[in-house]
Amino acid sequence: MHLALSEKELDRLEDLLIKYGNDYSVLNVAELNGFFTALASSPTTVTPEHWLPVVAGGKVPKFKSPAEEEAYTALMLRYAGEVAAQLSESLDTFEPLFEETESEEGPVTVMEEWCFGYMRAVQVAGWNELPREQAEQLSAISLHGFEDNIELLDAMTPEQLRACVPQVVEAARALYRYQKAPVR
């Protein structure tokens, strides 16, 4: 069993992402969760040497101290392992780490950050073209994971956006299942 990060460790990881982040980096744990979900679902293994610079926005940051570099790297590796373990050990109950915000109608699930992270990792891993069913599942995620779709999302009603949440959750589970299925 993989040792899950505590709430305090997740907050520390997010603080480090923000502190060492830039316009091209992953800036919160929700986006990182999506990134690691797609990496764990990838048909190819992407090593930390390849994904760490991507998370940091192109190159590994210049840390202010060796202790911060160690914390950043250790928390990142543990979180990647935690997400992979959640998917492999309890896929049917796996829940992406979406953000929540408040609106006049009550709490609203915000999937964009998670989906941006997922699609970034799909690109890093160089996923091949998928069969139609899996391509449709990926498009449920990419709808919320690309800047180009912002106008489309803005035109959707709150009900339509809420209906997307279970579609994205099931798509993440189904893509993991598909990619990790034994070769026939």
Residue 35 lies in a domain: yes
Residue 62 lies in a domain: yes
Residue 166 lies in a domain: yes
Note whether 54 and 120 are within 8 A (CB): yes
Model pTM?
Answer: 0.93
Residue 171 lies in a domain: yes
Percent of the chain with pLDDT over 90: 80
pLDDT at position 184, please? 39
Residue 32 lies in a domain: yes
Residue 38 lies in a domain: yes
SS3 129: coil
Residue 16: enclosing H or E segment and its boundaries?
A: helix 7-19
- Number of domains within the chain: 1
Residue 1 lies in a domain: no
Nearest of 145, 87, 140 to residue 116 by alpha carbon: 145
Range of the domain at 91: 7-180
pLDDT at position 183, please? 53
Rounded CA separation 99/97 (Å)? 7
Residue 94 lies in a domain: yes
| pLDDT beneath 50, residues of the chain | 184
